[in-house]
Each structure stands twice: as structure tokens, then as C-alpha cells.
Amino acid sequence: MQHPDGRRSENGTGQRSYTMPADDAGEVLLASMKLNGIDRIWFTSGSEMGFVQEGSVKARELGRPAPRVMTITHEAVALAAACGETVVTGKPSAAAFHVECGMLNAGGMYHVADRGRYPVLVTSGYPSSAEANSVPGARSSFIQYYQQIRDQGELIRQYMRWDHKLAPYDNPGTVISRAVQVMLSDPRGPAYLAIPRESSMAPIASGQTRFPLTDQLRPVSAPPPDAALLREAAAWLLASNNPLIVAGRVGTSHEALAPLVELAETLGARVMSDAHRLSFPGSHPLHRGVAGVTPLTGQPDCILSLDQLTPWIPGRFDPGPDVRLIRIGLDPAERWVPIYEFPSDLSIVGDAVAAIPLLVDEIRRQRTPEQRRACEARLEKAQEEGRQRLARLVATAESDRARGVIHALWLSHQIGQTLDPETLVVQETVETALFNRTLPGTQVASGGSNLGWAAPASVGMKVAAPDRQVVSVTGDGAWMFSNPQVTTWASAFHKAPVLFIIFNNRGYRTGTTDVERAYPEGYVARTGDFTGGLFDPCPNYSGEASASGAYGEKVTEPDQVGPAIRRGLAANREGAPAVLDVWLPKIGPGLPTAR
């Protein structure tokens, strides 16, 4: 890897490294980020993070490597946008926060970065503790005393794959390379680096530095699945009369979709897919809904779970002793979950994406003519059932429209009918049954449970893919959690116009239908008093957007949903973010709509 003012070298021991001129450690941190694939650092200002601004401008003026600084005015938005960028690029990204206060502002986005397996380097300043005038970056303000805490990394360590506090004696380039190596190793995820001001401003005595990159510190990939175990899995699936495939995080790879469809069609198996990525086309007649959310229909006798944490809803489905359960994934035991009761009769460690085509080949090699005829008959029956299921969903949506009501299915249907197949849809806790996404990478969710991710993540995706249409679809609760003023501002500021569609039901599912489910005979259900779960009247989402210079529209008529989506897309083409506030019936008992 070559770059102006830098070169490859041997360090005398045979280890390859990168050599560049540098005056202080901050310059080296930024250069190593860029050279290791981090193109952007989503930045929220802090007094001790000035090295990011100084170093990036200096690098630009001198033609040296550094990530582009992306100004963001709230840390949660910054981290979500950084995660979103990695979805499109497949490369690492970075975010920068102000001491522990900025870290706390990012809040639940650490959970999403971890659970969604996003390779984001989270950096934060660390308050100066050196005595005034003793070293560059030493204490210079009263506030630095208030900012001291026992262990800054302790705040988020359980969500990180790696964490470190940069010391003045560290080789800063190696520190970044090591962080990226771990972030990109399977299972991918975030890393954290605390950067004291004294460390970032530490002089490079020789005027140049040398460090390895990730082509020497190579990330580690998941092992290939065991061939003998795959043969056993194929035999079990072929012996099944009613197999079910539960597709989880295989959708993180664009290469997974076509082989997974081939596997399902070869077996004649129904499929439930995780909401994290588009792992199986929602309009395919073998699709039966979202894994762990949609109740299972029928009684499968063999379940193949592909890197899926919750293959069914506990308490609503009991596989029974005669059902065979096969799990393939990076960690089929899900060791990070303390109490995990989902059984497994055959656990295969490895990359589920790599396992799928191998499993297809093994099934075709093993199956007898009789088994092939059974699979074909099952496929025909399951597809016809699936076509009827989709027709019922569309009929329900049309019936609601005819009554003058925008229910979640009608909005879902209009999104599916209006958007181009290539449009990237980023969704959060909404009805996706009729989104009609069929192409790899065209439907994304967070992979975690913290709300407010989809909208700012869509800005990161649009920045990384400026030529693609990006649409964020969220419930109104998730929209409020997303710091909408900051998110729409960032969408405009970074010339990354996104269409934001809000499923507005003026309340939380958790505080209404979930409460009634937990206490069906309780006082809340008896009185209909769902205080704490409803917010009606709600904020004027479209008005807030318009006041900030975005296109805003409130939609209350079902026949205006499609035209409003097209108006929002037109605003995006003119360079403006657009917010559509679509009013559904107010959430309440018996109305399972978006949160």
C-alpha cells in the first residue's frame, strides 16, 4: 500500500510496515485509520478531540492520508450513521465523542453496534490529567477535573470486541491497526479507543513513524463448516416431511440470498427470515414472516436455524421431542446470552453463508428419486399456500383502503408498490410484509433492540452510496428516539437526502398491547387507561421538518399514500430530505402496529 509521503519498509526483522512523516501521535492515528480502510470519522466536537480537526486539515494540505471528518451534532446519530456506512461499504468506520459525557449521549447505539455486528471504531477523548504546562495537552481548564472518572472504558466495555486507552508510549499506528483487525474478525463488531489529550499531542521524536497495517495484522474469518456434520444435516432435512428454514444473519452478505432461495426450493421448505437484513425475498411464496416475531404455522418436524438467535417465539411454539433442530452459525450456543433455552440436536460452527451452497450440493448428492419427488410435491404445495397468504395480505390492505383507513398493511403495500427494486429501505419496528424487497441489500434493520437507529443510519448509508435512493421507515416512537432534528439536519448538511416515512400511531406497542397481554384481566385493560403508552396529541413531525428546510407532509388519506411517497422521492431528487408523517389508527388493544 503506497501513499504520498509514505512508503512500505522492512524494519530489520523482516516484518513489513508503513513509514510516514509525522509530528505528533494524532496525525498517526488518523493516517492509520485511513490506511486501514476507515474513510470517514463521524465527529461530535470536544475540546480534547481537536487533534481530529487539526490532523485532518494538515493531512489534506500536505497530501497525507486521513479520514474525512463528518460533522454530526449528536453522538447517538453519529454512531448510528457510522454503523449505516458499514452496511453499504463492508468496510470499517469510526465515530469520535467528547469524554464520558459524549459517550453517554451515544447511549443505546452501543448495543446496536454490538448486536448488529458493525465494525465501528468508537473513539473518545479522555480528560487531561497531567499537571499544567508539564507536557503538550496537559490540563488547561477547570472542566477537566469534573470530567475525570474511574474507568471511562468501563461504560461500554461489555459491548466492545476490543478496548484500550492510548498511552504516550504506544505506537499509535499499530494501536489502530490492531483495533481494526479485531473489529473485522468474525464475529465483527465495534472497538473502543480512549484518547487522552496528552497522548494525542505526544510528539514523534524522530519526525517519522512506522507501523503495520491490516494486510499484516489480518482479520480472522469464520472457519468453514464441518463437512461430516453438513452431510448429517442434509440427511435429516431429506428425511423430514415438513422442514422449516429460519434464516438469521446470513442476510448480512449479499452472496447469501440466491443460495438460500435455492436451498428452500430444493427442499420445498418454508422460510422465516430475520429482520436484520434481506436474507429471503418477502414476496417469495415460501416466505412465512419474520423469525421470532411471526407465529409459526403448521408443525415443522425439522428446523434449520442459520445464525438466528430466536428461531421462534418462546411460549407460543413448542418444538416437542420429535422435532430435529439444526443450528449453523459462528456461535450456535450463543454464549453471550446468559440464559438461553433454545435446544439444538446438531450444532455446526462456521460461516452460515458458506454453509448454504455446500448444504445444497450435499442434499442433491444424497437424495433419492423418491425424496426428490417428495421435495417437488412439497414445494408446489408450499408455494401455493404462500401465494394465497400474500393474496390475503394484499386483500386486507385493500379492504382497509376502501374503508378510508391507513392501516400498517396498506402503508407497507404502498411502499412495496411505489419504490424501485434497487431502493435501499432501512426499517425499524414496522410492518414489512408487503415491502416487496427482492434484491440483496435492499432491506436493512439494526440487528439490535435499541430504537432510533434506522433514521440516522440511513444518512450514513446515503453518504456511502450517494447514487442510491435510501428510504428510512420507522414507527413514530423510533422516529422520536432518532434525534430527528439532528438527523434531518445531517441529511441536508452532508448532501445525503433521505426519504423518512413515519408509521404514526401515537403510542408505544410496549405501553399498550404488550401491557394488556401481560395483564389481560388487569386494571389497565378494564379501564382502557393506557397512560404512559400513548402520546396523543403527538409532535408535528412534518411541520418540524419543514421548519428545518426539509420537505414535510402529513398524510391522512389512504389514496394519498402512494402519491405522497412519490412527492417525497421528488424532493430527494432536488436535494432535500423529506419527512412523511403517515397517520395510522391510534395504537391500542388488538392493533399490533409499529412502535
The residue with cell 468501563 is 154
The percent of residues in the chain predicted with pLDDT above 90, rounded, is: 77
pLDDT attached to residue 294: 85
Q: Are 126 and 149 spatial neighbours (Cβ–Cβ below 8 Å)?
A: no
**Residue-wise burial string across 484-523, b where 16 or more C-beta atoms lie within 10 A, e elsewhere:** bebbbbbbbebebbbbbbbbbbbbbbebbbebbeeeeeee
Q: In the predicted model, is pLDDT for residue 593 greater than 60? A: no
Residue 40's beta-bridge partner residues?
68
pLDDT attached to residue 6: 62
pLDDT attached to residue 252: 61
Q: How far is CA 158 from the centre of its chain?
A: 18
In the chain the domains, ranked by start, together with CATH numbers, are 7-211 (3.40.50.970), 227-382 (3.40.50.1220), 404-583 (3.40.50.970)
Cα distance from N-terminal residue to C-terminal residue, the chain: 48
The residue with cell 493516517 is 31
How large is the average pLDDT for residues 565-592?
88
Distance CA 124, CA 194 (A): 5
Q: 3-state DSSP: the chain helix, strand, coil percent, rounded to 5?
A: 40, 20, 40
pLDDT attached to residue 233: 98
Q: Is the pTM of this model over 0.75?
A: yes
Task: Say which residue, 61 or 278, is predicted with more confidence.
Answer: 61
Half-sphere exposure of 368 (CA within 13 A, CB side): 4
Residue 347's beta-bridge partner residues?
327
CA angle 48, 50, 55 (to 5 degrees): 140
CA angle 442, 352, 324 (to 5 degrees): 115
pLDDT attached to residue 440: 87
What confidence category does residue 15 fall into, taking pLDDT thresholds of 50, 70 and 90?
A: low
Q: What does the block give as the cell for 277? A: 437484513
DSSP string spanning 92-133?
A: -EEEEE-HHHHHHHHTTHHHHHHHTT--EEEEEEE---SPTT
Q: Are 266 and 378 spatial neighbours (Cβ–Cβ below 8 Å)?
A: no
* 261-276 confidence digits (pLDDT tens): 999 999 999 999 988 8
Q: How far is CA 300 from the centre of its chain?
A: 30
What confidence category does residue 14 fall into, taking pLDDT thresholds of 50, 70 and 90?
A: very low
* 436-480 confidence digits (pLDDT tens): 999 988 999 999 989 999 999 999 999 999 999 999 999 999 999
Task: Say which residue, 110 or 292, is predicted with more confidence.
Answer: 110
What confidence category does residue 187 fall into, taking pLDDT thresholds of 50, 70 and 90?
A: very high
Distance CA 145, CA 134 (A): 16
How large is the average pLDDT for residues 222-229?
94
Q: In the predicted model, is pLDDT for residue 12 greater than 60? A: no
How large is the average pLDDT for residues 526-543?
91
Q: In the predicted model, is pLDDT for residue 7 greater than 80? A: no
Distance CA 487, CA 462 (A): 12
Distance CA 7, CA 18 (A): 6
Q: What φ, ψ does residue 592 adopt, rounded to 5°?
A: -80, 80
Nearest residue to 79 via CA among 119, 35, 26, 36: 119
How large is the average pLDDT for residues 333-337?
91
CA angle 309, 310, 316 (to 5 degrees): 170
